[in-house]
Amino acid sequence: MRNPGAPRIETFISSEQIAQRVAQLGRQISDDARGQPLVVVGILKGAFVFLADLVRRIDVPLSIEFMGVSSYVGTQSTGHVQITRDLAADIQGAHVLLVEDIVDTGKTMDFLLDLLRVRQPASIRLCTLLSKPEAHCMRSKIDYVGFEIGDEFVVGYGLDLDGRFRELPYVGRITGNDPSP
């Protein structure tokens, strides 16, 4: 369907590729947890699709929490992380798995880890569907990465451009705009 002026998106990582990788990550996370329960913390909004698929591939008892953060306007990180929703549960003594859609500069992750460590969890591990190593300027290490990608803007499977395209079942990249009539 043509929609003049609208961003044109091409498939970058297909839903089949994503499903296969998510299953691998789930197995790896389950092995590493050695039967211990996890508190899986999804970072809203972008991680909600990935988290929903990932938790169904993890084979240890778990509970699910969400935190909301915002740092992006359009395709640029503002570098200024804001908490829009805090955790509802106490994570003291818990094994936490932080789930992100994408780590770009890593500033969001550094900020969140500093914030959560103060609450004294037993451990915190990081899992992200996508990572842009060329853009990283972070202190934290990422424990589980779905796919490493170049320094380009992607949408779909939870990721948005100004609130749009989160519902796409694949990860896509913007290749331009549909021509105006």
As measured in angstroms, the least distance from the Cβ of 8 to ligand IMP is 16
Binding status of residue 66 toward ligand IMP by CB under 6 A: no
Q: Is 101 a catalytic residue?
A: no
Which of 108, 124, 125, 142 is close enough to bind ligand IMP by CB under 6 A? 108
Q: Which of residues 70-89 bind ligand IMP (CB under 6 A)?
A: 71-72, 77
Q: Does 107 bind ligand IMP (CB under 6 A)?
A: yes
- Identified binder of ligand IMP from the candidate list 50, 154, 157, 172, rule CB under 6 A: 154
Q: Which stretch binds ligand IMP (CB under 6 A): 2-10, 19-27, 55-63, 96-104?
A: 96-104
**DSSP notation for the chain:** ---TTSEEEEEEE-HHHHHHHHHHHHHHHHHHHTT--EEEEEEETTTHHHHHHHHTT--S-EEEEEEEEEEEETTEEEEEEEEEE--SS--TT-EEEEEEEEESSSHHHHHHHHHHHTT--SEEEEEEEEE-GGG---SSPPSEEEEE--S--EEBTTB-BTTB-TT-SSEEEEEEEPPP-
Q: Does 171 bind ligand IMP (CB under 6 A)?
A: no
- Tell me how far, at minimum, the Cβ of 69 lies from Mg ion, in Å: 7
CB count, 10 Å around CB of 124? 20
End-to-end CA distance of the chain: 14
By C-beta, is 33 or 146 nearer to Mg ion? 146
CA atoms within 13 A on the CB side of 73: 5
Q: In angstroms, rounded to a whole number, what is the distance separating the alpha carbons of residues 108 and 104?
A: 9
State yes or no: residue 11 binds ligand IMP (CB under 6 A). Answer: no
Judged by CB under 6 A, the stretch of 13-21, 48-56, 87-95, 104-112 that binds ligand IMP is: 104-112
From 104, 110, 160, 162, active-site residue: 104
Which CB sits closer to ligand IMP, 72 or 170? 72
Write out the residues near ligand IMP by the rule CB under 6 A.
46, 71-72, 77, 100-108, 153-155, 159
Positions annotated as catalytic residues are 104
